[in-house]
Amino acid sequence: MVLAVMVLLGAMAVLVVVVLLQPRAPFVAVTVWVEARNGNAHSAAYFSRLEYRLAFAGATLAVLRAYPFRVLARGVLPLAYVARAQGAPLGDAGSAAMEVALRDGVVSFRVEGEARTRWKVAGIVGVDQWTRLACQLRFFWPNGTVSPSDAAPSPSSCSSDRRALCIV
């Protein structure tokens, strides 16, 4: 009887702590600005099937998608995403990588994805191609700044393979 009362009181104490303190797991909130650029002086560019994945240590934290859109000739269209990842499982290796990153003051995120682009040549012939983007972003959490890990335009940098999409 005494044991049953002790277990009941213990359960009530745990319930009160959970209700009052409402403990929450830590989460990551990242704002990613993507620009769609059209360097063509005579034709609008159309983007569709745009999808990017924001990852840390191999674990996808968020998937960024956009409905089809159009960028005017010589135009730029900013696409702002607020990616809030809650409860993304990092695993043992990911948790260890996050501990090291927080200790060093730099958290590296990977942004990868692609978009289908379409435009017309001479206003007559339609051209379709995939524009891919792969970028390593370094987030300096003590001061809140972000920088790309390499600034040289290449297929693996923050500029895309066709210079149509980039991270700012």
pLDDT tens-digit readout, 107-147? 888 889 999 999 888 778 888 999 888 888 888 888 877 77
The pLDDT of residue 83: 65
**In the block, residue with structure tokens 């007559």:** 124
The mean predicted confidence, pLDDT, of the chain is 78
Does any domain span residue 23? no
For residue 132 the two structure tokens come to 């891919």
What average pLDDT score do residues 88-105 get?
A: 83
Per-residue confidence at 156, pLDDT binned at 50, 70, 90? Answer: very low
CA distances from 24 to 19, 20, 95, 103, 148 (A): 12, 12, 17, 22, 31
- Boundaries of domain holding 101: 28-167
Does any domain span residue 3? no
Does any domain span residue 13? no
CA 157 to chain centre: 15
The pLDDT of residue 153: 42
pLDDT of 11 over the 50 cut: yes
DSSP structure class, residue 159: B
In angstroms and rounded to an integer, the radius of gyration of the C-alpha atoms of the chain is 23
Per-residue confidence at 28, pLDDT binned at 50, 70, 90? Answer: low
Per-residue confidence at 49, pLDDT binned at 50, 70, 90? Answer: very high
Q: Looking at the 3D structure of the chain, how many domains does it have?
A: 1
CATH number for position 115? 2.60.40
Does any domain span residue 116? yes
Does any domain span residue 56? yes
Does any domain span residue 22? no
Does any domain span residue 6? no
SS3 state at 162: coil
